[in-house]
Every structure is written in C-alpha cells, then in structure tokens.
Amino acid sequence: MTTIDKSGEKHNLMTNDYFWPMKRYQDMHKRSIDDPEGFWAEQAGALAWDKPWDKVLDWKPPYGRWFTGGKLNACVQCVDRHAMSQKSSKVAIYWEGETGDTRTISYADLLHDVNRFAAVLKKLGVQKGDRVAIYLPMIPELVTAMLACARIGAIHCVIFSGFSAQAISDRVNDSNAKLIITASGGYRRGKILALKGIVDDAVAMCPSIEKVLVVKYTDHEPNINPDKDIWLSDVLNDSDNAVVAPESMDATDPLFILYTSGTTGKPKGILHGTAGYMLYASKTLQWAFNPSDDSIYWCTADAGWITGHSYLVYAPLALGLTSVIYEGAPDYPAIDRWWQIIEKYRVSIFYTSPTAIRMFMRNGEEWLAKHDLSSLQVMGSVGEAINPEAWRWYYKYIGYENCPIIDTWWQTETGGFMIAPCAGIQSYPLKPGSATLPMPGVDPVVLDADGNEAAPNKTGFIAIRKPWPGMLLDVYGNPDLYQKTYWSRFPGYYAPGDYSMKDADGYWWLLGRADEVIKVSGHRISTAELEHAVVGHSAVAEAAAAAKPDEVKGEAIVLFVILRNDHVGSVELQKEIIKYMRTAIGTVATPDDVIFVDKLPKTRSGKIMRRVLKAVAAGTSIGDITTLDDQTSVEEVMVAYEELKVAAAKSNNG
C-alpha cells in the first residue's frame, strides 16, 4: 500500500513512514475533551451569526443544547454568505441526471432559486415551525426545497424516494406535515418512477396534508387534483425575482426531522437543530476530508438519508465547496457511469458506501481501466464497516494507492462523523477496516454488558461520554423514546447501539449493530418493522425477521413466516410476499428469502429466540449459547434450532 507525496517519493499509507507524528491531532482532541466549551466557541466563528450565543453548552442530561441565545439561519450559512461574496459565480452544484441532462448551478443561482422557492412556500401558507414533507428524486429542486424550508424556518422532513405510500403516510402523520413536495416522477435505470402516484396513495391516508406541490420532471402526466395539487412551475413564475428575508432562528430551533429505524415497529423521527448541527457537520467534513477551495466534491448518498442531509447538502454548501450531484443508478447505462462522472468533473473528494464498492469489485477492474481517476485525492466510506478486502480494492483500483480512505462511523442521530481519520488535521497511519480515531469533541468508550470499561481488544458496546454539537435534539414527539433508546442502557452515556472494540493502538473497530436493526446496503431497517409489515399480508399469521450475511449488501433480509390455516406455502406465495414488502415499506425492505415454518423458536415467556433465527438464516451453527440472557435452557435452544433448520430446508426445496 503506497502513496506518492508531492516530491514524487513513494510511501506506505498504513505505516508511520509517511506520517508526521500524530501530535497535532492528539493535542486538538485532548483540548476538545478537556475544555469543550472553549474549543467549540473557537470553532463557532466559522458560522455567520445574527446574534452571538450566551452559553456554548447547556447540558441537562439527556439534553444537550448548544449555543443557547445565539441566532442564525442555516440557509444563510449555505447560500447567502457565498452568493454575496467573491464566490457568487463559483459552481455550487454540478448536477448530472440519469438521462445525461446536466445543470450547473452557481452560488448566485442557488440564492435566486432558493428565494423563489421560499416565496412559493410562504404563499402556500407555510410558516416558521411548520413541517414540510419532501419526496423528490435527486434533482436540484430537492436541495432547493430543503434550503427554502430552512430559510423560512420550516422543518423539513425528507422521505427517501424509494419508500412506499404507507411509509410516506407513517412519516407524514407522525410529523403532521401540512405540505408535501414531490415530482411527477424520477428516473431509475432508464425507467420512470411515478412518484406523484405514490404520493396520491399516501395523501389519501394523511389528513394533515393541505397541499401537494409538484415539480414537473419526467414526461408522463400524473393525475392532478385541482383542489390539492399545485405545479411548482405555475407558482414559481409569480415569484420570479422574489427575495425572502431569512428567518433569524434560535441556535437550538429544529432544522429537520429525519426518520430512521430503531427497535420498535415504527420509525422514529430524529430531530436535529440549527447551530450545533451546522457547525458539527461542516467542521467534521473539513477535518476528515480536508477540502480546499478548488476541490470537486462528490458524495454519492441520496438526500433522503442522513449522509445526504449532512454531507451532500448542508456541510459542503456551508463550506462553499463545489459538489457533484448525480441522480441515477451507479450502473446505468453501464457499470462505469460513476467513473465517467469522476473523470468528467475531475472529482477530487469521493464519498461512497462499502456496498457500492463491493458491487464494483464484483464487476471487475476492466471498467476502471477505461477511465482516468487520477483527480481523486481523498475517498470516504460510510453506512457499515468496510471489510478489509473492499478497503484494499478501493484503495488500489480507485485511489491508485494515492488517496487515504476516510472510513466514517456515525449515525442519523449523531448528525456528523464521530470516528474517522482526519486528513485535514493530521495524517496518521490507516488500518483497513478501522474507522481509526474519534473526531475532536467525541469521547467514546467501550463498555461491557455491566457498564464497565472494557480492556483493549475486547468487544463491547460503544458509548459516548460527552455531548457533542451534532447530537440529536430529541425523538420528535416522543421524549420517552429518546431517553429510553439512547440514555437508559448505560445511564449518563449516549448509547449508539453498536458493538465495537478499541485495539492496543487506540484504533476503533465498529463491529455492527448490537440491537435488532438490520443493515441492508447500509440502510437501517428493524426486524420489528419488517414483522409488523409482513403480517399485513392476508396469508400471513405470524412472522419473524432475521439478517443473513450478503457479499454485496452486507446484510440481507430473511423472513420466517407462519401461514394462516387456509394457505399453503409455494414459490408463487414467496414471490408475492417479497413484492408485498416492497409496497408495504419500500425497496429497502425487499427480503432475499421467505421461509415458511410451522412455528417460530420462542422462549417459555414467548420471546422470539433471535439468535436461533439468525443462525438458521445465515446457515451457521448456533455457536455459543451459554450467554443467552433469556433463561432458556441450552437444550430448548438446540431443539428449536434443529426444528427451524429442518423447516427452512423443506421450505427452500418446496
């Protein structure tokens, strides 16, 4: 593993020969932990404030409120201050549509677009504090809509455009949004996704929605209900040169709600604030990826997920960077579409997921050989642990052994990176598969099941000892769930719900979820949510979900299903249930296997033995069962395991 520095000398990115001592990082990290208020007060000069804060941190566990008394607007950070400076003609976004359409948007253009959009929202009666749902494909209007909400102080709630009508309505009803913004459709692998039709089905279940604002994008004609639906193009014309003064928000006012899966059957609305979130997202991007004014930055995430919120929209724009946004599938029309884009725009910072890397690995290096990727300088990874093999492939074939890989461990709830290498503070040796060291301001610890600090190299639960500016404000409308989910497992600590290990060098290894959350292509979905959805199918009496390892997706979903008396298992029914799950939740919930069984492995108290399900789904042995905390006897577990194995084999053969 070598890299070439500016003098042309070759170095090894995974040993100390290239790196200066870690001192600069260590000093900065130590200061951020010893004096967080002083540290973050210094950093906060990076934002444009309407009024300075009174207090850096108001910490009343489990609530951390940052920069109380301060006033600012998130849209101003991202747009106005660049558009009003020498940067006004700088490209903010190079947008590339799946069909090959392109748009180049400068910071001045973005200000114009955001003002017009904000004027439309105001005209439709959206006020500060109102919730606005956004269900759009990856077109520039998605970014504009988010920023326009931020500008007027409305709370956006972006819903990934792969979600079903039911999933949309769950989120809209929980957030009580009054407006939903969608498009006639979007493109995916050459096909049109009829998004407006899906929204129509959702809105029929959403009493709070007063209006549907529709972006005309694909050619097909959706149904239009004149009482509710409004074409954006019709109302934008009226607001051509509108200027909407940005709302001066409290530092702790909410900026957005983003739903994510937990261990319950219902996704929870993660609520993020204004100043702390904006500062944390932009500082962590700067520290980890070390962008410069002429960087071309590309984060491949969809804006429907937290990576898209923080590192496609808010942080790169707050830093005044030039970003690439691509609408479509990575393998359309061919598997080298992404490499074409990197070559075309001379992308220098590239941030993607292990799932994507593994998909490209599978397709071979010959696709890469056709393109010049030498513009790349730094590459990132997110969503799940990157396995060392994928890490090495990414490093060698995409980065030409010349780019550090910034493996970023974080969550929807954390707002920004928590553990990641900091190319912008100090280069230090990387270890393939490790997210390396905590970001400044982050104070993690590995705890054992009793809450004692684990020894080096011992696996335990990661916990965070101190509040950090990007931390969630709350679970929207459910403070009890906030307390219970994140702060009760280890009182006084934030519990992310991941297993982890710290090695003897102090490097962090994140080892996957410790709860009932499955990670499919880096997307979170809970077993409870899957189970809740599948019993909605008329043939299903009871079900349990489990994960099995998948070479590309990381984990895949397996459903164990007990049918109602009047139904028999068949291949057709398996297919029907798979299809049903896509309509009940969305593409992320597509099971790989549906296994018909007569009974589910349960403890005497009726709890599903998840370890048994997991072992059967993965085709592995039951392993060490002595630590089962449900008091079930080893014999009972073994019997349940054998029975389920036999049933699964029967179902697969039938």
C-alpha distances (whole Å) from 232 to each of 206, 216, 407 are: 21, 7, 39
Residue closer to ligand PRX by CB (options 519, 537) is 519
| Cβ partners under 8 Å of residue 631, min gap 6 | 603
| Residues 482-501: x where in contact with ligand PRX by CB under 6 A, - otherwise, as a string | --------------xxx---
What angle, 0 to 180 degrees and rounded to 10, lies between the N-to-C axes of helices 23-34 and 36-43?
110
**Which of 382, 439, 525, 637 forms a contact with ligand PRX (CB under 6 A)?**
382
Longest dimension (CA), the chain: 75
Residue closer to ligand PRX by CB (options 500, 632) is 500
Tokens of 297: 């930055």
- Do 259 and 171 meet the contact criterion of CB atoms below 8 Å apart? yes
- Do 181 and 213 meet the contact criterion of CB atoms below 8 Å apart? yes
What angle, 0 to 180 degrees and rounded to 10, lies between the N-to-C axes of helices 275-289 and 36-43?
80
- Do 37 and 56 meet the contact criterion of CB atoms below 8 Å apart? yes
Alpha-carbon distance 91 to 145, whole Å? 19
Residue closer to ligand PRX by CB (options 299, 647) is 299
| Residues 401-420: x where in contact with ligand PRX by CB under 6 A, - otherwise, as a string | ------xxxxxx--------
C-alpha distances (whole Å) from 460 to each of 511, 514, 515 are: 9, 9, 13
Of 179-187, 380-388, 450-458, 637-645: span binding ligand PRX (CB under 6 A): 380-388
For the CB of residue 520, give the shortest distance to ligand PRX in the complex, in Å.
10
For the CB of residue 384, give the shortest distance to ligand PRX in the complex, in Å.
5
| Residues 517-546: x where in contact with ligand PRX by CB under 6 A, - otherwise, as a string | --x----x----------------------
Residue closer to ligand PRX by CB (options 325, 405) is 405
Of 30-38, 511-519, 542-550, 553-561: span binding ligand PRX (CB under 6 A): 511-519
For the CB of residue 259, give the shortest distance to ligand PRX in the complex, in Å.
11
Residue closer to ligand PRX by CB (options 415, 424) is 415
The answer to the question of residue 385 lying near ligand PRX (CB under 6 A) is yes
For the CB of residue 311, give the shortest distance to ligand PRX in the complex, in Å.
9
Tokens of 516: 């009932």
Total number of residues binding ligand PRX (CB under 6 A)?
Answer: 22
For the CB of residue 636, give the shortest distance to ligand PRX in the complex, in Å.
30
Residue closer to ligand PRX by CB (options 94, 428) is 428
Residue 290 gets the label, from left (phi > 0), alpha (psi -120 to 50) or beta, of left
Dihedral sign (CA 628, 629, 635, 638): negative
Give CA angle at 403 (400, 406), nearest 5°.
Answer: 135
For the CB of residue 486, give the shortest distance to ligand PRX in the complex, in Å.
11
Strands 523-526 and 593-596, by their bridges, are: unpaired
Applying the rule CB under 6 A, the residues between 421 and 480 that interact with ligand PRX are 435
Residue closer to ligand PRX by CB (options 141, 302) is 302
Residue closer to ligand PRX by CB (options 154, 285) is 285
For the CB of residue 496, give the shortest distance to ligand PRX in the complex, in Å.
5
| Cβ partners under 8 Å of residue 450, min gap 6 | none
**Which of 130, 141, 327, 384 forms a contact with ligand PRX (CB under 6 A)?**
384
DSSP helix/strand/coil, 393 = helix
Residue closer to ligand PRX by CB (options 313, 563) is 313
Residue closer to ligand PRX by CB (options 502, 519) is 519
Rg for the chain, CA atoms, rounded:
25
Q: In degrees rounded to 5, what are phi and psi of residue 474?
A: 180, 175
Applying the rule CB under 6 A, the residues between 298 and 357 that interact with ligand PRX are 306-307
For the CB of residue 412, give the shortest distance to ligand PRX in the complex, in Å.
3
Strands 405-407 and 349-352, by their bridges, are: unpaired
Residue closer to ligand PRX by CB (options 187, 476) is 476
Where are the alpha helices (H) located in 219-320, listed in sequence order? 232-237, 275-289, 306-308, 315-318
Q: Which of 348, 338, 414 is nearest to 377 (CA)?
A: 348
Residues at the site binding ligand PRX, with contacts judged by CB under 6 A: 260, 306-307, 382-385, 407-412, 435, 496-498, 510, 512-513, 519, 524
